[in-house]
Structure 1
Amino acid sequence: MADTFDILRKLALQVRNATLAGENSAERIGRTFVGILDLIDGLKNIYLHKNQPDETEFLIKFLAGGEFGEFVDSMIAGKGAGIFPDGRAQVERLEVRGSLSVLDLIINQIQGMESDYSFTEIGKIESVEDLGENTYRLSIEKRTDFDFMKFQENDVCFSIINTLLTGGSEYYTSWMRILATNAQENSITVVLYPDSEVPGGTNYPPLAGYNVTRRGNSTLPEAGGSNERAQSWMISSREGRIMFLSNVYKPILEDYNYSISIGRFPRTKALEKLPISENETGVMAQTVIAEKFYQFDYNGDVIPSKVDRGIWSLETAQSGAPYRFVQHELAKPSGSEYTLLEQHTVYHLGCKWGCLKDKTTDEPKWNSPSWGLLEGDSRYSLQLSLSGGEAFVIGGVDTVMSGRIYFGTTDITDDVMADGATEVEWFRDSGNVPADNLWTPEYVDGNRLAIHIDNGNQHGVGSDFGFVSRSVAFICRVYIPVEGEMQQIEQRFGFDIL
């Protein structure tokens, strides 16, 4: 504005001077018009035009912001471009030919990735110089003044090239090994691998504008050593897997290179021995260490994990690593459902037992609610024996018949008879039904599994045994309470005189 006032002041002085000089009206008017034209010419050098292109070498401040095109402020229905006084800018599309630096990047919650993503050294090829004999010098673009490429000699590198810029949809891969690096020029000298040494059987030269990244390093380590540059992380949407590759010394991968593979299984020889195709997904790793492992069958049911704890001992049961029976409870309106996840197994008394109560200190045995028999003889049996042998003189029978109860090969007599719910029955079968019905057992010292047998009719073989009756048998039946049910076992012992 100061410059405008100066021009107006000069114009007024010209008119005053013309009047003092005695000029007539026509002369003064002419001089005024000339002054106005000079004023307009002077304003052109001060203000920017609204009706024609213009420029200035000086700083222009838009304190209230600015709008470009037909601007509508909206992230969804907006258009045009606008800059606000608080520094916020809104545009339709932002194209950055160099680098983009931000302190905080807020983007769409869903992100997509095409092709491959490499978690190793990477650089953008700025220019390519063909040195002949499949050798190239690649200049790597510097994103900042202090950005230097980190490639090293013998790195196994590749660059994925597409034809999208020319309207195509094909992808090619250029495989190369670094011969030399030049930190001052930020360049690398590479040699292409022969077609026979790359995946797909055909190699392609590198092109400017595309990224190059390291997959491994061709330097073989000494015996017992390792080459850290021969490993890398890769995410590939083309292959459909996340990989950690190790011991990569050349472009074509071997089975041992896949330290970890998550997603679609790679083509390895191990898959040929399993009912798994390369289209199936899963996890393949050289070593797996996990606290929990769940397995399902083809019906979707959980297969419990059986953990062998060896020989049972009370010391182990009371230790900080007790025997486990791990279940998952799922509450439903109809009630709770339980899924067995882990069961510890032990060996005891010649049998294999499975834990049924988490962290139990009970001993595994036939009637323990904390253990179930998994392997071994689970049959209950009764064995009868005589105290004086099985040879008798006619009229001289005087013996004690005793019974022992077994679970498999384990004698459980004391446990069974200590249970007040156990029932024992004795019968005599001599062929004389009336006499047998009158027969009653004579227990020895209150032991229901031991009876005294003599020649009498009431407690023995009968007074006519050996004279009229040539055979007599005694039957013992035992009813054992097992898990709310009565388990019946029976044994018959006969006396015969030939």
Structure 2
Amino acid sequence: MTKPILDDGNYSAFVGLPPDLDCLRNLPINKRQPYIYARGLIVQDIIRVDYQGNPQYTARDRGQWDATTQYLYGYDEEAQGFFADRVWWGGCLWQAAVENPTVGREPRYNNPDWACLLGGKNMSLEIVSTAGDQFPAGKAWQTTLIASLWNAEMQISDTEIGWDNISWQRISPDSEGDTAWNITHAQGTLGFTLPLDSTVDYPGAWEAGAQVSFRCDVFLPEQNDTFSAMYSILM
């Protein structure tokens, strides 16, 4: 006799604790929890939840962000399911972090409506001088250093970062003068713009071969990371 012993061929469907079937052995199944098994399934609504009953959201790629579109993190009545909308913007992939992100407010650093999934750590910092980096010896000069922080293709303003997270330092052979300059230009007193005047900001006489460097440090609390850039001015 081969019956009533059951083998895989005797099962076409089951509801309850899963039997020991070859076709199920390599699946991530919890043998202490009930399952439904059938060859086919005809159903209108499937709502996925975790073990605590919280809905599980299906990621939905909506392409490039559009300022006129309402995106969603929640239940979509039309699609009959829970969705987390994702968009591409500024070289980054973003996911809606609130039920209805503000229409027209772009995904970017410090926007709580969106969470950056890809590209958020692709940061770079650069500094330029409005009057160049070389000046004639013996003559007074002025210039402005402008730091630019980029998140992928998006430029981040010092208002978004917060001045408390921005610092400038002067670096030169005059260490005592550097210390005094750094104290008067303490962290939080400047944004991304640093006006310079050789009569007060340059160490000692402006002679041939003289050089001074200014470093900008930007701390990103969310990433617990600091980005730095240096700019040198010489004769």
Report the TM-score range of the alignment, normalised by the length of the smaller protein: 0.5 to 0.7
Superposed displacement of residue 476, structure 1: 3.0
- CA–CA distance in 1 between the matches of 2:150 and 2:196? 24
RMSD: 4.5
CA shift in 2, pair 1:270/1:401, >3 Å: same
Q: Report the secondary structure of 1:411's partner residue.
A: strand
Is 1:430 the counterpart of 2:185? The answer is: no
Q: Identify unmatched segments of 5+ residues in structure 1.
A: 1-194, 203-237, 240-251, 327-340, 442-446
Partner residue of 1:412 out of 156, 177, 183: 156
Q: CA contact under 8 A between 1:325 and 1:342: conserved in structure 2?
A: yes
Q: Which residue of 2 is the match for residue 305 of structure 1?
A: 57
- CA–CA distance in 2 between the matches of 1:381 and 1:496? 24
- CA–CA distance in 2 between the matches of 1:283 and 1:473? 69
Q: Which residue of 2 is the match for residue 369 of structure 1?
A: 112
Could you report, residue by residue, the CA deviation over 1:262-308 in whole angstroms, capped at 9, with x for unpaired residues? Answer: 22446765324425498974112323643411134xxx696843422
Q: CA contact under 8 A between 2:148 and 2:192: conserved in structure 1?
A: yes
Q: Which residue of 1 is the match for residue 146 of structure 2?
A: 402
Q: Which has the higher contact order (CA 8 A, sep 6+)?
A: 2
Q: Which residue of 2 is the match for residue 493 of structure 1?
A: 231
Superposed displacement of residue 363, structure 1: 2.7
Count of residues in correspondence between the two structures = 216
Q: Which residue of 2 is the match for residue 354 of structure 1?
A: 95
Partner residue of 1:282 out of 35, 51, 72: 35
Alignment of 1:242-391 (within 5 A): 258=12, 260-265=13-18, 270-276=23-29, 281-285=34-38, 286-287=40-41, 289=43, 290-296=45-51, 304-311=56-63, 312-317=65-70, 322-325=71-74, 343-361=84-102, 362-378=105-121, 381-391=124-134
Q: CA contact under 8 A between 1:384 and 1:402: conserved in structure 2?
A: yes
Normalising by the residue count of structure 2, what TM-score does the alignment of the two structures yield?
A: 0.64
Superposed displacement of residue 384, structure 1: 0.8
From the CA coordinates, give the structure whose radius of gyration is larger.
Answer: 1
Alignment of 1:16-27 (within 5 A): none
Q: CA contact under 8 A between 1:422 and 1:479: conserved in structure 2?
A: no
Q: Which residue of 1 is the match for residue 213 of structure 2?
A: 473
Letter matched to residue 35 of structure 2? G
Q: Report the secondary structure of 1:316's partner residue.
A: coil
Could you report, residue by residue, the CA deviation over 1:193-251 in whole angstroms, capped at 9, with x for unpaired residues? Answer: xx9xxxx369xxxxxxxxxxxxxxxxxxxxxxxxxxxxxxxxxxx98xxxxxxxxxxxx
Q: Report the secondary structure of 1:261's partner residue.
A: strand
Q: Report the secondary structure of 1:270's partner residue.
A: helix
Alignment of 1:106-121 (within 5 A): none
CA shift in 2, pair 1:493/1:301, >3 Å: farther
CA shift in 2, pair 1:301/1:382, >3 Å: farther
Could you report, residue by residue, the CA deviation over 1:433-479 in whole angstroms, capped at 9, with x for unpaired residues? Answer: 454426878xxxxx95334445x3314x3452334x74311133457
Superposed displacement of residue 315, structure 1: 3.8
Could you report, residue by residue, the CA deviation over 1:43-72 in whole angstroms, capped at 9, with x for unpaired residues? Answer: xxxxxxxxxxxxxxxxxxxxxxxxxxxxxx
Q: Identify unmatched segments of 5+ residues in structure 2.
A: 76-81
Q: CA contact under 8 A between 1:267 and 1:278: conserved in structure 2?
A: no
